[in-house]
Amino acid sequence: MQTEKQSRDVFYVSDGTAITCETVGHVVLGQFPFYANEKTFPFVESEEKLTELLKHIEISFQANGIKPLVFFSLVIAEFREKLLQANAHCYDVLESIVQRVKDDIHMEPVPKLQRSRSVSKDTDTYFDRIAAIEYTLAHDDGISLKGLEQADIILLGVSRSGKTPTSLYMAMQFGLRVVNYPYIDDDIRGLKLLPEFEIYRHKLFGLTIAPERLTEIRQNRLAGSEYASTAQCQHELANVEALFRREAIPYINTTSLSVEEISTRVLEKTGLKRRLF
Amino acid sequence: MQTEKQSRDVFYVSDGTAITCETVGHVVLGQFPFYANEKTFPFVESEEKLTELLKHIEISFQANGIKPLVFFSLVIAEFREKLLQANAHCYDVLESIVQRVKDDIHMEPVPKLQRSRSVSKDTDTYFDRIAAIEYTLAHDDGISLKGLEQADIILLGVSRSGKTPTSLYMAMQFGLRVVNYPYIDDDIRGLKLLPEFEIYRHKLFGLTIAPERLTEIRQNRLAGSEYASTAQCQHELANVEALFRREAIPYINTTSLSVEEISTRVLEKTGLKRRLF
Nearest-Cα distance to chain B for A79, in Å, is 19
Distance (Å, whole) CA A114 – CA B23: 12
pLDDT tens digits along A62-105: 999 999 999 999 999 999 999 999 999 999 999 999 999 999 99
pLDDT band per the 50, 70, 90 thresholds, residue A191: confident
CA angle A197, A199, A200 (to 5 degrees): 60
- Binding-site entries of A: 157-164
Q: What is the pLDDT of residue B116?
A: 47
Question: Mean pLDDT score of chain B, rounded to an integer?
Answer: 90
- pLDDT of residue A184 exceeding 80, the answer is no
Q: Please give the average per-residue pLDDT across B230-255, as a whole number.
A: 95
Question: Mean pLDDT score of chain A, rounded to an integer?
Answer: 90
Edge-first strand order for the sheet with B7-14 is: B35-41, B7-14, B69-73, B89-92
Strands A69-73 and A7-14: parallel
Q: What is the DSSP string of B231-246?
A: HHHHHHHHHHHHHHHH
Nearest-Cα distance to chain B for A103, in Å, is 10
Chain B: residue whose CA lies nearest to A19 = B260
Test A274 with B108 for CB contact under 8 angstroms.
Answer: no
pLDDT band per the 50, 70, 90 thresholds, residue A221: confident
Q: Please give the average per-residue pLDDT across B117-130, as a whole number.
A: 67
Strand partners, B11: B39, B70
Q: What is the pLDDT of residue B192?
A: 86
Q: What is the pLDDT of residue B3?
A: 46
Nearest CB partner across the interface for B20, out of A24, A89, A256:
A24
CA distances from A4 to A58, A85, B102 (A): 18, 21, 12
Are B120 and B91 in contact by the 8 Å Cβ rule? The answer is: no
Q: What is the pTM of this model?
A: 0.88
Q: Please give the average per-residue pLDDT across B73-81, as a whole number.
A: 95
pLDDT band per the 50, 70, 90 thresholds, residue B121: very low
Nearest CB partner across the interface for A260, out of B19, B168, B276:
B19
Reported ipTM: 0.87
Q: Please give the average per-residue pLDDT across A187-198, as a whole number.
A: 82
Distance (Å, whole) CA B90 – CA A40: 30
The DSSP call for residue A161 is S
Q: What is the pLDDT of residue A59?
A: 98
Are B155 and B181 in contact by the 8 Å Cβ rule? The answer is: yes
Q: What is the pLDDT of residue A121?
A: 47
pLDDT tens digits along B175-203: 999 999 998 766 666 788 899 999 999 99
The DSSP call for residue B93 is T
Q: Please give the average per-residue pLDDT across B149-160, as a whole number.
A: 96
Q: Please give the average per-residue pLDDT across A109-120, as a whole number.
A: 59
Q: What is the pLDDT of residue A233?
A: 95
- pLDDT of residue B151 exceeding 90, the answer is yes
- pLDDT of residue B251 exceeding 50, the answer is yes
> What torsion do the CA atoms of A272, A277, B2, B8 make, to the nearest 10 degrees?
0
